[in-house]
Amino acid sequence: MRDCFSVRQVSFWYACVMCKGLSFNLVFMNIQETLGERQKMTNNRQKEIQAKLARNLLDQIILQYLEKESMHGYQIITRIRKSYGVYFGPSTVYPLLAMLEKKGYVKSTWNVGSVRPRKVYSLTADGKCVLKLAEASLTMMCRSLADGSVLKAEQERMVLPIQESSQRTIICRS
């Protein structure tokens, strides 16, 4: 059975069913089931796209959370699951945090004041610069997707707020 039916097709089916003496409820239930299946497929596609985007932008998502407040790894995992409906386990998040720390985008300190000692991560100045660059790039890409084309003039006017020196240190420009 097809996913989408036109009003003409539905009307034709209704007329055929009514001619055969079947009840309207049967036809209406069949149409509702088809529309319900279509809605489920749409929801599944939307969840699939959200999961894919979250996977590909996980480092930026983590940097954005750390911009607001310092967190330990498990807090980050639960926030992502609540916000995006996608579960990233410790085997995904902790190596990514270590990589971000190695690059100098986040720093960690041990919080031994709680019941369990926890490694708490916070965003560095370099991490803020990378986050601003990523936000600007994603905004430009989303605009071009919404417009249906990339505007060349807009790309030429966009000045990246980040500059890389020979020592691989990121310096922000105001």
Spatial separation of the C-alpha atoms in residues 81 and 88, rounded to whole Å: 7
Spatial separation of the C-alpha atoms in residues 62 and 56, rounded to whole Å: 12
Indicate whether 18 and 72 sit together in one domain.
no
Closest CA to 41 of 70, 3, 6: 3
**pTM for this prediction:** 0.66
Write the CB contacts of 59 (distance below 8 Å, at least 6 apart in sequence): 96, 99, 100
Positions in the chain short of pLDDT 50? 1-2, 6-27, 153, 163-169, 174
Position 9 scores a pLDDT of: 46
Look at phi and psi of residue 110 and say left if phi exceeds 0, alpha if psi is from -120 to 50, else beta.
Answer: beta
Indicate whether 43 and 128 sit together in one domain.
no
Indicate whether 47 and 87 sit together in one domain.
no
Structure tokens at 35: 């529309």
Indicate whether 119 and 142 sit together in one domain.
yes
Number of domains within the chain:
2
Write out the residue range of the structural domain in which residue 17 sits: 7-51
Identify the CATH number of the domain in which residue 153 sits: 1.10.10.10
Indicate whether 76 and 155 sit together in one domain.
yes
